[in-house]
Structure 1
C-alpha cells in the first residue's frame, strides 16, 4: 500500500469524529455501538496517516522520533481496540473497557509530541511541516474550551470541525506529497515486520 492510498484512507476517516459527535446530539455522555464504529473509522484513518508520515521520513532518523512513532501507533491501536469493544458491547464498563478508553486522550497527547517532533525535524516542507502539530493541538485547545465553556454543544461542534479540518489537511498533505516525492522517499518501518522481504513488500 503506497502513501497516496494511505493518505486517501486518512482523508476518508478524517470527518468521522465530527459525524459521531453530531450523531450523539453533541452530547459527550451519549454512547452507542454506532459510536464505536464511527470512531473505529476515524482512528484507523489516523493510523494510516501516521504510518505514511513515518514512511516519508517526517519523524526523522533519530532515536526519539522512532520511539515516539511506535508509542503513537501503539496508543492508536489500543484506542481502536476500545472502539471495537464499544462497537460490540457499548458501555461495557469493565476494567478492560476503561483501560482501553484511556488510550484516546493518551493518543491525542502523543500526537502533540509527534507534531512537535515533525515540525522540529523539518523534513516536510512548507505548510505540511506544521499540519501534524495543528492536529496535535486538538487536545489542549479542546481542554481550554472545555474549561471556559464546559461541554456545550457549541464547544463540541467547534472541536469536531477543528478535528475534521486539521486531519483532512494532514491527509491532503500526504496525498499531494506522495505524488511529488514518489516511492523512493518512502522509508521502511523497521521492526514492523523485520522479517521477510516478501512480508515487507506486502506492508509497504
Structure 2
C-alpha cells in the first residue's frame, strides 16, 4: 500500500476512539466491558494507527539508519498486539491469560513508542517541518493525558480530552501522510539537485 492510501486510512480511523467515548457518555469502559461495536471501533483506531506507523516507515521518516528503522518498526509489533486485545475481548478470553495480559500492556507501550517515533521523526528531519509536527502531536497524547490526570487529581485518564486529542492528532498525521512527498518524488528531487 502506498503512503497516501495509508494516510487516508489513518484519517478515516482517527475519530473512532472519540466515537466510542461518546457512545459511553465519556465514561471509561474497563477491559471486557465494551460491546462488539466498541471493540470494533477501538480496533479500527489501532488499525489506522498501525497504517500511520507503516507509512512513516515507508517514508524513512525516522532516518535511514538501522536505529531509525528499529524505532519505527517497534510500534508495528506492539500495535498488532493491541489489536489482538480487542479480538480477545470479542472472544471473551480470560483476562488473566498471558496472551491477554501482553496484549493489554501493548496499548500503553504502543503510545510510549509512538512518542519515541515522534521524537525520532523530528530529529531525523527527513520530512518537511509541518509533516514532522503531526507525529509529535500524536506522540504526546499519553504524556499530556497523564499530566492532565495528575494536575486535575483524577483517578483515571480523562476520556474526553484523550478522545479529542487522538481524533485530532491522528487525523492530522493522516493528512500529513497524504500530503507528504512520496519517497519516489523525494528521490527524483534529490537526484535533480
1:126, CA displacement in angstroms? 2.4
Aligned to 1:202: none
Aligned to 2:62: 59
The structure 2 residue matched to 1:137, chosen from 140, 146, 151, is: 140
- Unpaired runs of at least 5, structure 1: 188-204
Contact 1:55 1:185 in 2 (8 A): no
1:89, CA displacement in angstroms? 2.0
In 2 relative to 1, CA 176–86 (structure 1 residues): closer, same or farther, beyond 3 Å? same
Aligned to 1:16: 16
Aligned to 1:3: 3
Contact 2:43 2:83 in 1 (8 A): yes
Aligned to 2:190: none
Q: How is 1:141-152 mapped onto 2 (pairs within 5 angstroms)?
A: 141-149=144-152, 150=154
In 2 relative to 1, CA 51–185 (structure 1 residues): closer, same or farther, beyond 3 Å? farther
* TM-score, normalised by the number of residues in structure 1: 0.82
1:152, CA displacement in angstroms? 7.4
The structure 2 residue matched to 1:47, chosen from 44, 47, 50, is: 50
Give the SS at the match of 1:21.
helix
In 2 relative to 1, CA 162–129 (structure 1 residues): closer, same or farther, beyond 3 Å? same
Give the SS at the match of 2:95.
coil
What is the aligned residue count?
182
Contact 1:17 1:42 in 2 (8 A): yes
* TM-score, normalised by the number of residues in structure 2: 0.86
- Unpaired runs of at least 5, structure 2: 188-193
Q: Which runs of 4+ in 1 moved over 6 A?
A: none
Q: Quote the RMSD (CA, aligned, Å).
A: 2.0
Aligned to 2:191: none
In 2 relative to 1, CA 151–37 (structure 1 residues): closer, same or farther, beyond 3 Å? farther
